[in-house]
């Protein structure tokens, strides 16, 4: 079978690929622009870990192509180096070094010299983690605890106030993970990220919009108290089911003000089983710490009236096809996928094991809490009302 000829993409074509990738387009759509397979486009993007490279630009101190043309013409005319330097307003050593680096007076050509200079500046800048092995080791330890790069960066900033040498941005951590040429963090550490991808994807992606069924007499989220919306007081929870393989699932609950997480083992997803588990769990918390529960339109809470009567907790439901209205829980479920990847049988976990996972997540600093942990904030609320 005849193979397709190898294609070398121009800088303009690569710039178009990166622009479409930043906009959130799929590899398949980008590949269609060039009549190639998505694998061919991925091969280019993955070289930089899916992170768009910084646009290259010339230093204002570097010689321009026009100045190199002047040098070339002056050499042909036999002008001395000092005269050439004076006409260009630079040091004679600059002109001497330029000529010596590009074949000497007899072989100097402006276009070739300019191309060599452009190629020589392609030296990757060493990142802070590569220059500070102790800091890189600390970052690696936190990644292994499933801390996100943003959590690590925020924690380092608080722990090392005024000490820039022991701080690093979350973007630097991501770049060190996905761009292996930096040589600071091992590729294997990406397995501890919330999303275990081979390269970084654009933040623009489609959110879940499936409706999970009709709920009778559902109270809309628009009727939820203002105190729940502005996070003025604790006690307003959001919940959902996190699904695994073999028809297994667990209940995930997160308190909006403190982001405190609780996990509940359930034997099935039918409304009777889920509501019974929620009622039993609600009895563990005092009323002032469990005022309301917001759920998606899943049929597992079709019997929400029984839960309200038994626990004296009002249930609110998102609008149809608006699961993002319980953003705290949606985000938490994403974090939990680090501990419960898709395809895992969740029925094998005991309640004690679920509690241990919840404790680990509650011990991770959160940006929305100014890098306090959910456990700290929740226990502060409990102490203030105790």
Q: How far apart (Å, rounded) are the C-alpha atoms in residues 269 and 272?
A: 8
More confident residue, 44 or 56: 44
- Residues 276 and 264: their CA atoms lie apart, in Å, by 11
Q: 208 falls in which pLDDT band (50, 70, 90)? A: very low
Q: Which residue has the higher pLDDT, 256 or 6?
A: 256
Highest mean pLDDT: which range of 3-7, 173-177, 183-187: 173-177
Helical packing angle, 149-159 and 170-178, nearest 10°: 130
Compute CA distances 228 → 223, 232, 256, 283, 382, whole Å. 10, 7, 8, 21, 17
Q: Which residue has the higher pLDDT, 6 or 115?
A: 115
| pTM above threshold 0.85 | no
Domain 221-385, CATH among 3.30.470.10, 3.30.420.40, 3.30.420.10, 3.30.920.30: 3.30.420.10
Asked which of 116-125, 306-315, 324-333 is least confident by mean pLDDT, the reply is: 116-125
What percentage of the chain has pLDDT greater than the value 70? 92
Q: Report whether pLDDT(205) > 60.
A: no
The per-residue pLDDT for 38 is 76
* pLDDT tens digits, one per residue of 123-146: 556 778 888 889 989 999 999 999
- Whether residue 365 is predicted with pLDDT greater than 90 in this model: the reply is yes
Q: Are 127 and 175 in contact (CB under 8 A)?
A: yes
pLDDT of residue 1: 46
pLDDT in tens, 135-181: 989 999 999 999 999 999 999 999 888 888 889 999 888 888 887 76
The residue count for the chain: 386
278 vs 184, more confident: 278
């Amino acid at each position: 079978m005849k193979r397709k000829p190898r294609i070398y993409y121009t800088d303009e074509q690569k710039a178009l690929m990166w622009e479409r990738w930043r906009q959130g387009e799929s590899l398949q759509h980008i590949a269609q622009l060039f009549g190639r397979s998505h694998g061919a486009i991925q091969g280019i993007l993955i070289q930089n870990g899916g992170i768009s490279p910084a646009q290259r630009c010339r230093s204002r101190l570097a010689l321009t192509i026009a100045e190199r043309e002047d040098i070339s013409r002056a050499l042909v005319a036999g002008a001395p180096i000092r005269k050439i330097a004076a006409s260009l307003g630079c040091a004679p050593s600059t002109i001497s070094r330029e000529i010596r680096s590009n074949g000497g007076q007899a072989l100097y050509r402006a276009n070739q010299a300019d191309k060599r200079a452009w190629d020589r500046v392609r030296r990757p800048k060493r990142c802070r983690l590569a220059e500070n092995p102790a800091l890189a080791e600390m970052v690696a330890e936190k990644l292994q605890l499933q801390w996100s790069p943003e959590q690590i960066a925020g924690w380092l900033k608080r722990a090392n106030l005024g000490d820039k040498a022991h701080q690093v941005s979350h973007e630097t951590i991501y770049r060190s993970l996905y761009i292996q040429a930096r040589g600071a963090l091992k590729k294997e550490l990406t397995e501890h990220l919330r999303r275990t991808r081979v390269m970084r994807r654009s933040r623009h992606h489609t959110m879940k919009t499936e409706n999970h069924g009709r709920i009778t007499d559902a109270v809309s989220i628009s009727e939820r108290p203002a105190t729940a919306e502005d996070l003025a007081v604790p006690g307003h929870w959001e919940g959902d089911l996190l699904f695994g393989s073999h028809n297994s699932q667990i209940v995930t609950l997160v308190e909006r003000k403190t982001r405190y997480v609780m996990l509940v083992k359930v034997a099935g997803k039918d409304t009777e089983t889920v509501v019974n588990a929620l009622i039993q769990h609600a009895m563990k918390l005092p009323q002032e710490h469990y005022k309301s529960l917001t759920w998606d339109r899943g049929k597992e809470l079709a019997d929400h009236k029984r839960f309200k009567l038994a626990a004296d907790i009002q249930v609110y439901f998102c609008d149809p096809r608006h699961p993002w209205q319980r953003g705290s829980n949606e985000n938490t479920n994403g974090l939990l996928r680090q501990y419960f990847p898709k395809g895992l049988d969740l029925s094998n976990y005991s309640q004690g094991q679920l509690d241990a996972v919840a404790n680990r997540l509650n011990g991770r600093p959160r940006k929305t809490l100014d890098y306090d942990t959910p456990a700290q904030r929740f226990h502060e609320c409990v102490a203030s009302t105790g």
